[in-house]
Amino acid sequence: MTDDALAIRQPQDGDIVGTAIGVAGVGIAFEASWGWRLVGGGRTLAEGMFTAGSGGAMSPFATTLSVPEHGHNGPATVEIWADDPSGAAPRPAGVPVIAISGAAGYRPVRVQAGDTLTAIAERHGSTVERIVAASHLVDPDQIEIDQLLRVPV
């Protein structure tokens, strides 16, 4: 399988993935079979196989992958590779994402005067840890009015 046999369109760099990962691309795989895994914190958080596209020809594909609860909130990588019946080791294409365990999605929230991360988390049913990871905050004590946060729900 050559390196140009797969182009991932979704997820995109920095996307939040929670209970599901939307995967789309163009590629070729034996019998349209693909492997995937979500890797973060030095371990595999989830993995599996899916069938999409058409076997033996470059074709577009799209599917949704179900992700079990894994306890990781932070940087991760979605890896996808084409099934290869020769037994050769897979050469995955990877996309850096933010994994938020158990999240169904996120809400964009603008910081208002007087807001704290704790208050925002409580108001939206999230946690400070999840907001920090999803919003790429370096210092959770430094949020600014009008700053756009991604609040996992």
Same domain? 62 vs 38: yes
Same domain? 79 vs 121: no
Same domain? 77 vs 120: no
**pLDDT digits 0-9 by tens, 47-70:** 999 998 877 788 899 999 999 999
Same domain? 87 vs 30: yes
- In this predicted structure, what is the pLDDT of residue 3? 55
Helix, strand or coil, per DSSP, at residue 118? helix
Same domain? 57 vs 89: yes
Q: Per the structure, how many domains does the chain have?
A: 2
Residue 29 CB partners (closer than 8 Å, separation 6+): 5, 53, 55, 82, 83
Q: What is the CATH number of the domain that holds 14?
A: 2.60.40.10
- 2 pLDDT more than 80: no
Q: Is the pTM of this model over 0.85?
A: yes
Domain span at residue 147 reads 106-152
- 77 pLDDT more than 70: yes
- Taking 3-state DSSP, the helix, strand and coil percentages for the chain, each rounded to the nearest 5, stand at 15, 45, 40
**pLDDT digits 0-9 by tens, 78-134:** 999 988 777 777 789 999 999 999 999 999 999 999 999 999 999 999 999 999 999
Residue 1 CB partners (closer than 8 Å, separation 6+): 28, 81, 82, 84, 88, 91
- 32 pLDDT more than 90: no
Q: What is the CATH number of the domain that holds 114?
A: 3.10.350.10
- 45 pLDDT more than 90: yes
